[in-house]
Amino acid sequence: MPLAIITGASRGLGLALARALARERWALVLDARGSAELAAAADELAAVTDVVALAGDVAEPAHRRELVRVAGDRIDLLVNNASLLGPSPQPALGAYPVAELERVYRANVFAPLALAQLVLPRLPDGAAILRVTSDAAVEPYAGWGGYGSSKAALEQLTAILAAEHPALRIYAVDPGDMRTRMHQEAFPGEDISDRPAPEESVPGLLGLIGGELPSGRYRTRELSGVTT
């Protein structure tokens, strides 16, 4: 049974992907900051597959080490989905509190790299690392300097990691706008009911995970024709 670590898996895209992988008989190691939501997700998924759920902050070294320890000697997939939006509403860079920006970078840049460093020795050839990114990494949206620049940094780290590990498949994936709690926090007071549900991005992610596309940056809308 292949095994995946998924961070930020208690809701949104992380939970939607965990459900899909469970149906395909993947064993799962799940992480999220909210213990109650994570426990509920784990109870649901345990009816389908083997699940270990560890509540905690992926920005904390001890939590990362425990995730990898419980995963065991072979890890087939690492999904860096957990992200921190930062202040809401999003402040302009000229007024962005630097201490808050450091928190965003710890969660969105340093934590995925540090977790990958722990996981790399346990990934067999052909295994995959999948990082969830955003169009804010490449488009200069006013007010998105903190989150967007953190995702831009994550994408460059992902591209370099892929160049350094050609035997692996290492992806940055942009799911686009989604009807999630984080997206609502980014647009407080706005109606986001017209955004797609996270489940609509899952087929594209599964195509990457089970397919043979080379490492690189992808958008889930472009992956609709990819099959496993």
- Residue 190: its pLDDT value, please? 61
What CATH number does domain 3-223 carry, 3.30.1490.100, 3.90.1580.10, 1.10.3720.10, 3.40.50.720? 3.40.50.720
- Residue 227: its pLDDT value, please? 41
pLDDT band at 89; cut points 50, 70, 90: confident
| Paired strand residues for 53 | 30
In whole angstroms, what is the distance from residue 138 CA to residue 147 CA?
A: 11
- Residue 140: its pLDDT value, please? 86
pLDDT band at 228; cut points 50, 70, 90: very low
pTM of the model: 0.91
- Residue 192: its pLDDT value, please? 54
Torsion of CA 223, 144, 88, 32, to 10 degrees: 40
Q: What is the DSSP letter of 213?
A: P
Q: Is the pLDDT of residue 226 over 70?
A: no
| Phi, psi (degrees; rounded to nearest 5) at 78 | -120, 125
What mean pLDDT comes out for the span 3-25? 96
What mean pLDDT comes out for the span 83-89? 88
CA distances from residue 219 to 9, 49, 51, 75 in whole angstroms, order as listed: 20, 28, 28, 24
And the tokens for 122? Answer: 């346990």
Q: Is the pLDDT of residue 71 over 70?
A: yes
* pLDDT tens per residue, range 23-53: 999 999 999 998 999 999 999 999 999 999 9
Q: Is the pLDDT of residue 97 over 70?
A: yes
And the tokens for 147? Answer: 């989150």
Does an H or E element contain 13, and which? helix 12-23
In whole angstroms, what is the distance from residue 64 CA to residue 195 CA?
A: 32
Q: Is 11 helix (H, G, I), strand (E, B) or coil?
A: coil
CA distances from residue 69 to 110, 119, 179 in whole angstroms, order as listed: 19, 10, 33
Q: What is the DSSP letter of 72?
A: -
| Least-confidence region, from 98-102, 169-173, 185-189, 200-204 | 185-189
Structural domain spans, the chain: 3-223
And the tokens for 152? Answer: 């831009």
* pLDDT tens per residue, range 101-139: 999 999 999 999 999 999 999 999 999 999 999 988 888
Q: Is the pLDDT of residue 155 over 90?
A: yes
Q: Is the pLDDT of residue 180 over 70?
A: no
Residue 207 has a CB neighbour count (10 Å cut-off) of: 18
And the tokens for 64? Answer: 């990362």
And the tokens for 188? Answer: 């407080």
Q: Is the pLDDT of residue 203 over 50?
A: yes
